[in-house]
A and B are shown apart, each in its own frame.
Chain A
């Protein structure tokens, strides 16, 4: 009895801590990693001691050591430093592509589900056409037209991922449109726009936060693939896909040049997905 009383009168902080301690540890790792990434993007010099471009041929292709925890590349630059300084490029491209993809999907999906007949039909067919193209082919097409650059990469990946999300959003909105509360609002005499704003969009787009987080991970992997193919950011920049591409030549002598950037990409995608999944399950539980 006293134990219960103590808990009830305990501070809010302690309750919050108790709640937090019930979360899976994987989520903590993901959040910690995300914070680290954020620092790398905003102020990479806080996490590194060397300059990402300082060349030291005497230390070329050294395996991981205390001075260079991820080893060094063919010019003696520390891979750790390169990875940290590359985070800005990689994440900007990844987040930018995810933003673009979800925004395009939102537009297409809403038009397909909510607009008047002809416009909705056009949007619907457009989504289907985008779908029939393999995303990679679509991305290659864009790069062929516009030339490889970070901007093109964002565009290519964003458009490549949009149709899948557009379809999901369209389905969500159509589901919400048929909900009983929409009919109830209609019967109350609320205008169509008011119903869309107050009921349909908020309910249909509940999963969007989660979708966005999931999409960041996917976009980073995508963007890295394009860079790896030499279709993204040009070599001096240390975008992770480009690092992978550069390390490929020394796969036998210095496998860490490929393995470590690869692991970083996987870790980013994993933590974005973990956070996204968590948000999704929270939303589904209605919290």
Chain B
């Protein structure tokens, strides 16, 4: 029984008769499924029309099994998850040949039934714990509320249950934490509190929508461990993620989505190890790691790198030298924290020096000091043999063209009133280019970063994330710098776009002999790109070495933990 759509929709979901019978037979085989969906499609009323976002999703969720939906932003994976729990929203039209939760027809559920089902039978872990938790309510209360709504136990037993739940998801000092508000907890603790409230009533289906996005790797490892334990206790987990490495950790069955459709699905080992579809292959190939060093990650990357043979730079030329950098900040409560503590490094010509660390490790502050956007409290930076941080800004300006920056959020780094053309013209050194030569140089820059000239007239707001980052790179190149500081420059991008940008960065480095100070929390990206890596923790450099050294013989305990926390992306190990 499906809800019908009155209006005619241009692309109806795949209604292949043969497909249907096959799927139907499949369902009989897997009759133990806790959640079963056939040919799910979700559309939204937009204005006076209807837009279909998701179509043709079918899978079963068995006890103790993890099904993962993988896809990039806009693939419809989150909409799918929401449709499955009746949260598609007022404008959402959810249709399916079958949608069964515990063998009940969920398409017939009223909102009242859904409220009973959610929490009790299905736990829903949302992406962003800070937004999903009430900022004014202690997290313990949040969990109590979930229990109370479903009339679980009495007051005292609910309190006890909260302690027990927080303990179970690995929150230390649960009695104290339960009384704290979300803003008093770290990102990892918040996410775990959210998981605790989602599993408060021991639902046997847990849906986790990007549960580890925006978390540090060590915290991510803990959250994944929680999900794994739930699975071992017999819960069925539906994991939504853009991150194949995360998915590989947990999934038994993988559904790959693109543009609202299922591209490929099957057992995890098969999808990851022997994918049938080009898109899945590209997705897997795009994951950067130590093994992919020097190799192209994106389909177009091979041609890009072939045109840029490796240059023989004299590796001994130091372009940027930092000695004993220290930076302290006064926090709001008046205490002083040392964000950067005695950091020294040298960046050589043509080299990528990776700085890896978790949030709060001081890596971004180090990058800002290297750019002389932040004044160190102690220590010095020398740029191309000249004093850099110790001199006045007026004297620095003439040298600023030697060092450029690309930040994580390019949009905020562009003046919103300006078109791409104006942004790039503004970045050109005025003296070097007469006004007649400027447009030629700008087009050359666009060619270098692989953008159509047509983007010149557009505003950054109207560009995609990947295009924006390319514009940011073009702007950085405008002054023909020798050094580029890349601060989390690919962190906000989808994995295939990230792969394109990483390939572009590699090609540009080879072609132009650039030196990169590459700052990232992502060890995989760091290992892919860096010649040498600086590991930072709590403002200090705990280890320096080549990626090979770090991965094969990490000297510091923290490095070992960091490496252990990366979800190893090895298709053979999953099953």
Instruction: List the interface of chain A (C-beta within 8 A of B).
Output: 179-181, 183-192, 198-199, 202-203, 286
Contacts and interface: CB of A to CB of B under 8 A. Distances in A.
B416 interface: yes
B405 A187 contact: yes
A134 to B, nearest CB: 34
B404 A187 contact: yes
B371 interface: yes
Interface string B399-418: 11101110101001111110
A192 B396 CA distance: 12
B215 interface: no
B566 to A, nearest CB: 30
A88 B413 CA distance: 47
A161 to B, nearest CB: 28
A286 B416 contact: yes
Given A180-B407, A181-B415, A189 B396 contact: yes
Interface string B404-439: 110101001111110000000011000000000000
B400 A180 contact: no
Given A184-B413, A189-B398, 9 more contacts: A180-B407, A180-B413, A181-B414, A184-B414, A187-B373, A188-B479, A198-B415, A198-B426, A202-B417
Nearest to B472: A184
A192 B409 CA distance: 23
Nearest to A185: B426
A211 B55 CA distance: 49
Contacts of B417: 202-203
- Size bracket, chain B contacts: 20 to 34
Nearest to B403: A187
B412 A180 contact: yes
A192 B400 CA distance: 14
A186 B417 CA distance: 18
A185 B412 CA distance: 12
B397 interface: yes
Contacts of A199: 415
A118 B403 CA distance: 33
Nearest to A200: B415
Contacts of A185: 426
Interface string B479-496: 100000000000000000
Nearest to A187: B405
Which of A185, A186, A286: most chain B CB closer than 10 A? A186
A189 B412 contact: no
Contacts, number: 54
A184 B407 CA distance: 9
Nearest to B398: A189
Contacts of B393: 192
30 contacts: A180-B407, A181-B413, A181-B414, A181-B416, A183-B413, A184-B405, A184-B413, A185-B426, A187-B373, A187-B400, A187-B403, A187-B405, A188-B400, A188-B401, A188-B404, A188-B426, A188-B427, A188-B475, A189-B397, A189-B398, A189-B399, A190-B397, A190-B426, A191-B397, A192-B393, A198-B415, A198-B426, A202-B417, A203-B415, A286-B461
Contacts of B404: 187-188
Contacts of A192: 393
Contacts of A198: 415, 426
B394 to A, nearest CB: 8
Contact of A187 (B371, B414, B415): B371
A183 to B, nearest CB: 6
B120 to A, nearest CB: 44
Contacts of B416: 181, 203, 286
A272 B393 CA distance: 45
Contacts of B415: 181, 198-199, 203
Nearest to B409: A180
Contact of A183 (B373, B397, B478): B373
Interface of B: 371, 373, 393, 396-401, 403-405, 407, 409, 412-417, 426-427, 461, 475, 478-479
Contacts of A179: 412
B420 to A, nearest CB: 13
Which of B373, B398, B407, B415: most chain A CB closer than 10 A? B415
Contacts of A184: 405, 407, 413-414, 475
| A-B residue pairs, 9 tightest by C-beta | A189-B400, A180-B412, A180-B413, A184-B413, A181-B415, A189-B397, A187-B405, A199-B415, A188-B427
B373 A186 contact: yes
A286 to B, nearest CB: 7
B372 to A, nearest CB: 9
Nearest to A184: B413
Nearest to B400: A189
Nearest to B394: A191
A191 B414 CA distance: 17
A90 B104 CA distance: 75
A255 B311 CA distance: 91
B9 to A, nearest CB: 19
B140 to A, nearest CB: 36
Which of A184, A189, A203: most chain B CB closer than 10 A? A184
B370 to A, nearest CB: 11
Nearest to B397: A189
Nearest to A199: B415
B408 to A, nearest CB: 10
Contacts of B409: 180
Contacts of B396: 189
Nearest to A206: B417
Contacts of B373: 183, 186-187
A181 B405 contact: no
B176 to A, nearest CB: 35
B488 to A, nearest CB: 13
Nearest to A186: B373
A31 B38 CA distance: 58
A275 B407 CA distance: 39
Contacts of A180: 407, 409, 412-414
A179 B409 CA distance: 12
Contacts of A286: 416, 461
Contacts of A181: 412-416
Nearest to A180: B412
Contacts of A190: 397, 426
Contacts of B414: 180-181, 184
B170 to A, nearest CB: 36
Contacts of B427: 188
Nearest to B429: A189
Contacts of B401: 188-189
A186 B404 CA distance: 10
A181 B398 CA distance: 19
Contacts of B399: 189
Nearest to B407: A180
A202 B373 CA distance: 23
A215 B404 CA distance: 43
A116 to B, nearest CB: 14
B85 to A, nearest CB: 35
Contacts of B461: 286
Which of B397, B399, B478: most chain A CB closer than 10 A? B397
A61 B280 CA distance: 89
A119 to B, nearest CB: 19
A183 B487 CA distance: 13
Contacts of B407: 180, 184
Contacts of B397: 189-191
A18 to B, nearest CB: 17
A173 to B, nearest CB: 15
B162 to A, nearest CB: 40
A195 to B, nearest CB: 10
